[in-house]
Chain A
């Protein structure tokens, strides 16, 4: 059984449905703020995130004026005004963005806490082993025990079978599409023990029904 106090977790997110992003100066320089507390800022946009987000501040060092832009959408909750136009040291916390979490983001956060997540060991293409793929095609639950071959990592025409090494459980979520390239460290599979599945389902249902986006 997973040791999660669902109510406490939900209460925590409901009381503060924000993620606070602390922006630091990447290096020394004279800082000029472009935002003030309360301003809404946007993160990178475009299909390839090619359009940079809102400029938060500029940092000038040796005649090089560098724009520091917002990486996420949100509202500016803190600006260290006293250093505006002054020299600032590196790694100083100067701006905070309060990013309101969406329903999907919260579900993902909670699932990360309650599921055992298997991450990609290398950047490669991943497939389920044929037996599990067949089970998946029949829309049945995939159950895994430690030592089971469960994934094929395909890299440069070299297929390597990956053994499952987590707690015994049922695949709750596949984070990849078989055949797609997955970067190293990205989540591949979320696993919950069979008795926890109900709780996980309940978590999602409650967030879906109770949470306002």
Chain B
């Protein structure tokens, strides 16, 4: 009878799981099946055994039939439902079943800095020729929990991501590989220190050059939250998982322009789930993951031990591959290749060889190089770029300019500096030595032949500025907004009693700034290009790279064309060389008028190329964010991977000695702030701008709490330590010049 109860419980779970997948407990009479099972569970002692067995068999056949129907065609949205089901396996199940033993670090259960992030030192073993070999690893991942509220559904808070970063560094110190498990619908949108966006950016920045092999496994990859522990050398994904730029519901609300509180149509959510290309197959095709870990037809659940066995095999195999790619032994590489051919086959009982996961200095360098290449290549095949007529000439030109700048700012400057330091050292040492001998002689000489002291010649310095740093010495660019004959009211009029402003004055003489309270009215990006840099110094490059629709998102081509026609630009990123008072800088500018400054494949690639150009020419690199709405949702995970990709370029630029400054204006939110912008050591904001991770509506909808209207203001960002200062628009040129000179100093063109 105990068995009967067990069988019925299992049947009930299977039926409920089907309801979860379909997000409809009444699908094809599932509710009746569930009801019947519950009845049987309550009264199986009252039913004759034969009749009970017959009844159970009938229900089992029915459940089996329904399972087959569901497995025939699982839609992308159903995969999302699978991942969200409470029956799905979680990180704790993996720790129990994939690893031999583990010790949780930084908290247990509810008593935890952030229960949504679990960190553990674990041991994973393999069989080779009947012998067990164990490896130490650091496991970091999200724990969705089994319905516990304190787990927050796997939404990591900023301090949870900070905890993850701390233990990544511990793993690096100890030289052990890291296994990441991504089970998050997204990061918890909270700005409290260290800040959701800023902490993800810090994690990404550190992970780009973490000197240990890293393997990640994605079950639920919710955009930026996933990236916080998703950047790795090898990315595995569960066959029934999803990895997406935004939740299908969120995308549907944006696409359908649904007002807050209104219900989003189910069909639109299904449509978005399909168009976003969120499944494992889609992501493998896009090149955002490296391999799929096969699950049972309806997805793995908590007690799918065969799946855990496969996962253990795949994690070991992936770590082996990462390590072997850094080895110089050909035999090892051959082994790695052979394993690749075995993809999709059954999990073997034994491994062929034992691979030592420790890396030496040279291997670590190879590891970082491979990681850099991997991320820099991501999404490149979706870039529509005409091939140069003569590639040889292009390559030669690049090599020549690299050589020139290396000699100009590298070799010569370095030698000049070394020689100068040597001369300074020798002369000061020599002077000190000579002084002991010459001092007595000199004092006798001066006593005997006393001469009146010569007047020092005062050299008058010319203080008259050749160029003003406040305004340009040519006719200033005036915003076309000033061509209207009307007045506007400052939004702070009630608070500070600001008078109405005449538009030609406001956008002309006042540079869009309220003279009473200092509120900055938004201005077009052209104002900055024309008023910030020296006249005629702006030279755009990579102009030919144009935004496209790599996923074929329905209706997006038309919108792209419309924006291109309206703005006369072909992407939201403008990259150019410019000068400020003669100082040469490389600039990347995200503009709000083109797709709200969202970042897609082209914008990311343009940013990376600008970063590389700054590195080659050894110039400071400025990123001015006119506005950014985040990652472009229409490019799906191709957009998301711009976060690690661009951060990789920034890290390499800064490590090579560059000065990277970010200036935010208007609105800057989400992915870009949580990666290549937020990782800058020098971030400034123009007054009246807003900086954050998620906007107020998203915060209300995800966390259920309201935020004050000034929650994302630059002032609050400064209070929280997310930025380093607030600049007045009229002082932008002066402040930028000062920042370049102060932070760059004599080493402006490289440390």
Interface residues of A (CB under 8 A from B): 27, 46-48, 50, 61-64, 66
Q: Is the CB–CB distance between B706 and A46 below 8 Å?
A: yes
Which one, A46, A48, A50, A61, contacts B500 given CB within 8 A?
Answer: A61
Bound-state Cα–Cα, A66 to B488, Å: 9
In the complex, besides A50-B709, A62-B502, A64-B489, 10 extra interface pairs with C-beta distance below 8 angstroms are: A27-B500, A47-B706, A48-B708, A48-B709, A50-B708, A61-B500, A62-B485, A62-B486, A64-B486, A64-B488
- Closest Cβ neighbor of A51 among chain B residues: B709
Q: Is the CB–CB distance between B487 and A62 below 8 Å?
A: yes
List the B side residues contacting A64 at CB < 8 Å.
Answer: 486-489, 500
B484 within 8 A of A: yes
List the B side residues contacting A27 at CB < 8 Å.
Answer: 500
List the A side residues contacting B484 at CB < 8 Å.
Answer: 63
Q: Between A and B, how many residue pairs show CB distances below 8 Å?
A: 25
List the A side residues contacting B709 at CB < 8 Å.
Answer: 48, 50
List the B side residues contacting A47 at CB < 8 Å.
Answer: 706, 708
List the B side residues contacting A66 at CB < 8 Å.
Answer: 489
Bound-state Cα–Cα, A182 to B500, Å: 31
Q: Is the CB–CB distance between A63 and B706 below 8 Å?
A: no
Bound-state Cα–Cα, A63 to B484, Å: 9
CB neighbors of A among B473-488 (8 A) = 484-488
CB neighbors of A among B697-729 (8 A) = 706, 708-709
- Closest Cβ neighbor of A50 among chain B residues: B709
Bound-state Cα–Cα, A63 to B486, Å: 5
Q: Is the CB–CB distance between B485 and A63 below 8 Å?
A: yes
CB neighbors of A among B457-514 (8 A) = 484-489, 500, 502
A25 to chain B, nearest CB (A): 13
CB neighbors of A among B81-95 (8 A) = none
Indicate the size class of the contact surface on chain B.
Answer: 10 to 19
Q: Is the CB–CB distance between A61 and B708 below 8 Å?
A: no
Q: Is the CB–CB distance between A63 and B487 below 8 Å?
A: yes
A91 to chain B, nearest CB (A): 15
- Closest Cβ neighbor of B484 among chain A residues: A63
A59 to chain B, nearest CB (A): 10
- Closest Cβ neighbor of A64 among chain B residues: B487
List the B side residues contacting A48 at CB < 8 Å.
Answer: 708-709
7 residue pairs, one from A and one from B, having the closest CB atoms: A63-B486, A64-B487, A62-B487, A50-B709, A48-B708, A62-B486, A66-B489
Bound-state Cα–Cα, A46 to B711, Å: 14
A64 to chain B, nearest CB (A): 4
Bound-state Cα–Cα, A47 to B488, Å: 28
B668 to chain A, nearest CB (A): 21
- Closest Cβ neighbor of A47 among chain B residues: B706
A85 to chain B, nearest CB (A): 19
- Closest Cβ neighbor of A52 among chain B residues: B494
Bound-state Cα–Cα, A115 to B487, Å: 47
Bound-state Cα–Cα, A61 to B488, Å: 9
B516 to chain A, nearest CB (A): 15
Bound-state Cα–Cα, A63 to B500, Å: 11
List the A side residues contacting B708 at CB < 8 Å.
Answer: 47-48, 50
- Closest Cβ neighbor of A67 among chain B residues: B489
Bound-state Cα–Cα, A48 to B708, Å: 6
- Closest Cβ neighbor of A26 among chain B residues: B493
List the A side residues contacting B485 at CB < 8 Å.
Answer: 62-63
List the A side residues contacting B489 at CB < 8 Å.
Answer: 64, 66
- Closest Cβ neighbor of B500 among chain A residues: A64
B606 to chain A, nearest CB (A): 38
Bound-state Cα–Cα, A46 to B502, Å: 32
Bound-state Cα–Cα, A48 to B711, Å: 11
B598 to chain A, nearest CB (A): 27
Bound-state Cα–Cα, A82 to B98, Å: 81
Bound-state Cα–Cα, A50 to B696, Å: 13
B82 to chain A, nearest CB (A): 38
Bound-state Cα–Cα, A125 to B121, Å: 49
B536 to chain A, nearest CB (A): 36
List the A side residues contacting B488 at CB < 8 Å.
Answer: 64
- Closest Cβ neighbor of A63 among chain B residues: B486
25 contacts between A and B (CB under 8 A): A27-B500, A46-B706, A47-B706, A47-B708, A48-B708, A48-B709, A50-B708, A50-B709, A61-B487, A61-B500, A62-B485, A62-B486, A62-B487, A62-B500, A62-B502, A63-B484, A63-B485, A63-B486, A63-B487, A64-B486, A64-B487, A64-B488, A64-B489, A64-B500, A66-B489
Bound-state Cα–Cα, A62 to B503, Å: 10
B503 to chain A, nearest CB (A): 8
A49 to chain B, nearest CB (A): 10
B114 to chain A, nearest CB (A): 26
Bound-state Cα–Cα, A66 to B489, Å: 8
A43 to chain B, nearest CB (A): 14
A141 to chain B, nearest CB (A): 39
Bound-state Cα–Cα, A27 to B489, Å: 12
Bound-state Cα–Cα, A47 to B708, Å: 8
Bound-state Cα–Cα, A151 to B508, Å: 52
Bound-state Cα–Cα, A62 to B487, Å: 6
B380 to chain A, nearest CB (A): 45
Bound-state Cα–Cα, A61 to B502, Å: 11
Bound-state Cα–Cα, A1 to B484, Å: 66
Bound-state Cα–Cα, A207 to B498, Å: 42
Bound-state Cα–Cα, A50 to B488, Å: 20
A51 to chain B, nearest CB (A): 10
Bound-state Cα–Cα, A64 to B500, Å: 9
- Closest Cβ neighbor of B486 among chain A residues: A63
A44 to chain B, nearest CB (A): 11
List the B side residues contacting A50 at CB < 8 Å.
Answer: 708-709
Bound-state Cα–Cα, A64 to B503, Å: 10
Bound-state Cα–Cα, A123 to B487, Å: 35
Bound-state Cα–Cα, A62 to B275, Å: 48
B593 to chain A, nearest CB (A): 24
Bound-state Cα–Cα, A66 to B502, Å: 14
A19 to chain B, nearest CB (A): 21
Bound-state Cα–Cα, A50 to B706, Å: 11
Bound-state Cα–Cα, A66 to B498, Å: 14
List the B side residues contacting A63 at CB < 8 Å.
Answer: 484-487
- Closest Cβ neighbor of B485 among chain A residues: A63
List the A side residues contacting B486 at CB < 8 Å.
Answer: 62-64
A31 to chain B, nearest CB (A): 16
Bound-state Cα–Cα, A127 to B488, Å: 44
Bound-state Cα–Cα, A87 to B484, Å: 22
List the B side residues contacting A62 at CB < 8 Å.
Answer: 485-487, 500, 502
Bound-state Cα–Cα, A46 to B708, Å: 9
List the A side residues contacting B502 at CB < 8 Å.
Answer: 62
Bound-state Cα–Cα, A195 to B709, Å: 48
A52 to chain B, nearest CB (A): 10
B259 to chain A, nearest CB (A): 14
List the A side residues contacting B487 at CB < 8 Å.
Answer: 61-64
CB neighbors of A among B673-713 (8 A) = 706, 708-709
Bound-state Cα–Cα, A62 to B506, Å: 14
